[in-house]
Structures are given as C-alpha cells and as structure tokens.
Structure 1
Amino acid sequence: MHVKRPAEEIAANRARYEEHQRKGLEFAPKALPGFSALAEPAVDDENIVHREIIPGGWYWATRLGAAELIRISLTHGHSSLAMIAWNADDRSERINLPDTVKVQWTTELSKGRVIFSDMGRIMFSITEDTSGAHDCLVGGSNASSNARYQESNLRDTRDNFVKLAMKAGLDRRDIPAALTFFAPVRVDAEGKFFWNAGLLNGPDYVELRAEMDMIVGFSNCPHPLDPNPLYAPNPVTVTRLAARPAAADDLCRTATVEAVRGFENNLAASL
C-alpha cells in the first residue's frame, strides 16, 4: 500500500538534497597523489600492535581500533588478499563496495580514496598504496572457481569467510562483498574483466587507516581471474600499527565532497 508522506517531510528531504547538490557543485575535488614509493618503509617495533603472516589458502581476523593503521605487504611474493569488515559495535554495518564505487565515481581505489560502509560512513582511508591494483568488482574465489586447478580440497575465499563469520557470531548472510588487494582487475572496452599484471610492482604494499572500531577479516586465496595455472598463493604479511591521529587537512578526509560528507556521518554517529 502506498503511503503518502507529509508535505513537511518531503520539503525537508528536498532541502537536504539541494544543499548536498549545492555543496557538490561548489566543492573543487583535490588532485590525488601518485602511488607511494617503493621500497616499503620500515616500521618501529614500538608502533607494531601485532604482525600476522597469513599462509597461502588461510584466513585471519582481527579487531581494529579507530585511528589504527593496517599495512598489507607482499613480502613473500605475489598473492591476492581479500578483505571484509564490520563495525565492531554494530555488526549490521559492514563494508559496502557498490557504494564506495558509486559515491566516488571510480573503481580504482588507491591512495587518497576512502571505503564506505552500507550506512554512508567511512570505514577506511587508504593512506599509502604502491600499485592501485585492487579489485572491487569480481570478489573472491569459491569452490567453482577453484575447479580449474584439477585438485581437490583447495581452500577458497568464500568458505574461509563463512568460517571467519561464524567464529565472530555471524552467518553467511552477514558476509559482504570482498575487496581484493593486489588483484589487478580492469574492464576492457567491451565491458569484460581482465587481469592487468602490468599494474603490479613486485613487493607492493597498501596501508589503511581505520575510521571506526571494526572486525576485519582476510582470506589469502588465488583470485578467480589470476592467470597462474597453479594454486600457489604466497604468504602475505599484515601488520597492525598503533593509532595515529589524522591531521585536520588529511587528504582522505578532504579530497572530495563525498568523503567530507561520509566523515560528517561518522561524527554524527559518535555524538
């Protein structure tokens, strides 16, 4: 049954939309920086909260505090690492890649971009990145995509995330679409996905800043489009770093009007 909304509510919603539109038209987006330099900078031991080396085929989850950093490093050779995340205080809020792409008008997530939740808030800021070779379109592997290896009982990201979610008190329906790092997926002129290995630089790394308290899960399995005929994911190093407050003019927080609005939503939820 159609419910007619009060005129006052319609007017308030329109005014809010028009204000957002005005801000968007007046806001000049900042130019994003180039990729971070290689080699990966060293980290002082006193700033390391935890370091985990995720073996090929395995998964790992951690609780990440707001303003903490997490660095993902290809220190043992190439692998593609899939990531999902939930708000630690309200697990109905989770990473949302469709909104992340739609709001920022790009599928190329790299330094200076942010990652949104399904409630319009910012979960991560990408503070360092050496390649931009990350996939937010295809998703992780499953039993069907592993069938090409002609082997049985191979681990896949779908099953890894099911196990990870259940250990966190969640189930299959709580698993969001995964962002896969170091998976250089692009779209050709005909709209088909392809693997552009030229985007990778070898010992790449990406660093993310948490913008809320989260539970973050990782799966280290071959991406469905990885052309390697062998199931041979290398270990991936994930390092949690102590919280580092963002500067007032932090690029991720000020680069686009959409990011500004997302951080306003973060602030409003904390009041």
Structure 2
Amino acid sequence: MSELLATLPPLARAAVPAHSTGFDTALVLWEEDLPGGCHWSGVLRRGSTLRLVDVEGRANVSALFHNHERPVERYNMPDTLKAQHTAHLAAGCVCYSDMGRVLCSIAEDTCGWHDPLCGALDAATMQSKYGSADYQTHRNAMHRAGREGLLVELSKWGLGRGDMATPLNLFSKAVADGDGRLHFEAGHRRAGQHVDLRFEMDVLVALSAAPHPLDPSPRYAPGPVKLVAWHSGTAGADDPCRLRCPENDRGFVNTERYFLR
C-alpha cells in the first residue's frame, strides 16, 4: 500500500486515510480538489467509486444523481428513505432512482450521517444569512448558493430546473426535535471524514460545496472537499448494501437486469 501511495499525486495520497480498507490505489482514475462554495459535475461509470473527503471539518456537499443514459431517471429521496426504513443515509445505504434502480451505494463512510431532507441553500436564503458578495467585487471569494450551483452544473448537460430533485447533503446532520423542527448539528463534522459512493449505474453526478441551508454559522465559510475516483467493481452477492434489507436486494436485481444487453 505504501509503495502505491507514493506513486499518487499529493492530493490523492492525502485523500486516502491510513485506516481505509478495500482501496487499491493502483486503480485510481482521477483526483480533484473542490473548493468550498464551488460546484462540479461529471459522469461516474458503473463499477467506479467516488470518495469525498471533508478536508477541514466544515464541508457540506449537496449531490444530485441522474441516469447518464436517460437523465429523466433521477435520484428519488422519498423512495430511498422509504425502501430502507430510515431518515438519514450512512454506510450500507443506497440511493434509489425513481425507477426503483440503485444509482449508487454508500460502500464506506466514516461520517455516520448524511442529510437527505433539507435540500440545497438557495440564493435568497444565502443573501439573507450572509449578505451579498458578487463576483465583480469578490472574484473567487464570491458567495455561491447550492441550488444555483447545481443548476449551473445541470445546464452543462442540457438539464434545467425541471430536472432538479431534493439533493443529498453529504457530511451534514439535521435532526428533529420533539415538535418536528429540524436542527443542524455543527459538531457532527470532523476533518478527514470521508464517504465512498460506489456507482451501480452510469451516473451523471452534480455536486455543490455551498453551506447547508440550516448551518447556523453567521459567516459564509464552506469547507473544501477532496474527490478521488477509482475502479472498484459493483456490489457482489454478499455486499452489506445489498443485504441491508429485502428492498435493496430487489433494487440491485432491477439494476443488474437493466444492464443485460
């Protein structure tokens, strides 16, 4: 492992925690740095895994997933939660499409809780909380809203507002009190935490590293994220994500049949 790590760029080496398991660095496809507040999109092929690393313990990543071959099929938050009998996602969970197929699965996770409920920060809320900071004045330090960042990325692939769904907020924890009000737990995040998304389909992924909409910080200071992708293969018969519940096994079967050509 140490010999393989020595061959990687510094960013990729830093993004592979020493305690990580099941990661063959010889299979790394690419690595990239996503600054706080910025956005990114790309296609992750079936059988690849994307690791996201919270570099400083301040990250929130709003993520959208679409079937790259047929983008009308997209991540469905209600079905994802209902099928797995949960209100948050962590290792062993999957992200379902609105066609009952598994877009991606959480193969490894050191964070333990990812918020699927609260959506992305919009421009009006951002300006109300943090004030205005446009590009003309602040250049790359401008304030960027999560929703608008996701829309920019979707537009690069011919998609628009009608293709937006409720995104998954990676690294963020929002819990309900006795009256049903959601509260953001800032202490949940730690520097170096990572989550591995293994893609079971060819998926168009859109990411925004803007703040979580419920983040109580009065300062616009979203944290950076490291991205590393590698060849991993898909879920096997004994994979924990498949075995989590009968619904997940059926979801993987639906996905595998989709790729029978």
- On whether the aligned pair clears a TM of 0.5, the verdict is yes
How many residue pairs get matched? 234
In the alignment, which residue of structure 1 is the partner of 2:246?
A: 257
Which residue of 110, 115, 118 maps to 1:138? 118
Partner of 2:235: 246
Is 2:56–2:190's contact at 8 Å kept on the other side of the alignment?
Answer: no
**What does residue 190 of structure 1 align with?**
179
> What residue in structure 1 maps to residue 20 of structure 2?
41
Aligned ranges 1:45-124 → 2 under 5 Å = 45-124=25-104
Q: Which amino acid aligns with 1:92?
A: V
Task: Specify the code of the residue in structure 1 equivalent to 2:225.
Answer: V
Does structure 2 retain, via aligned residues, the 8 Å contact 1:133–1:200?
A: no
Q: Secondary structure at the match of 1:209?
A: strand
Q: 1:101 Cα deviation (Å)?
A: 0.8
State the partner residue of 1:227: 216
Q: 1:204 offset after TM fit, Å?
A: 0.9
Distance change (3 Å), C-alpha of 1:179 and 1:191: same
| Structure 1 residue 252: Cα displacement | 0.7
CA contact (8 A) 2:200 2:235 kept: no
Q: Distance in 1 between matches of 2:111 and 2:85?
A: 19
Shift of 1:142: 0.7
CA distance in 2, matches of 1:200, 1:72: 13
Q: Equivalent residue for 1:163?
A: 152
Mapped to 1, the partners of 2:24 and 2:105 lie a distance apart of 22
Partner SS state of residue 126, structure 1: strand
Q: 1:64 and 1:140, CA in 2 relative to 1: closer, same or farther beyond 3 A?
A: same
Distance 1:199 1:39, change over 3 A: farther
TM-score (norm 2): 0.84
Question: Aligned partners of 2:90, 2:203: CA distance in 1, in Å?
Answer: 20
The runs of 5 or more residues in structure 1 that have no matched partner are 1-37
Q: Distance in 1 between matches of 2:117 and 2:52?
A: 20
Q: Alignment identity in percent?
A: 36
What root-mean-square deviation, in Å, do the aligned CA atoms of Structure 1 and Structure 2 show?
A: 1.7
CA distance in 1, matches of 2:121, 2:216: 13
> Do the aligned residues in 2 keep the contact of 1:39 with 1:203 (CA within 8 Å)?
no
Q: Which protein is bigger by CA-based radius of gyration? A: 1
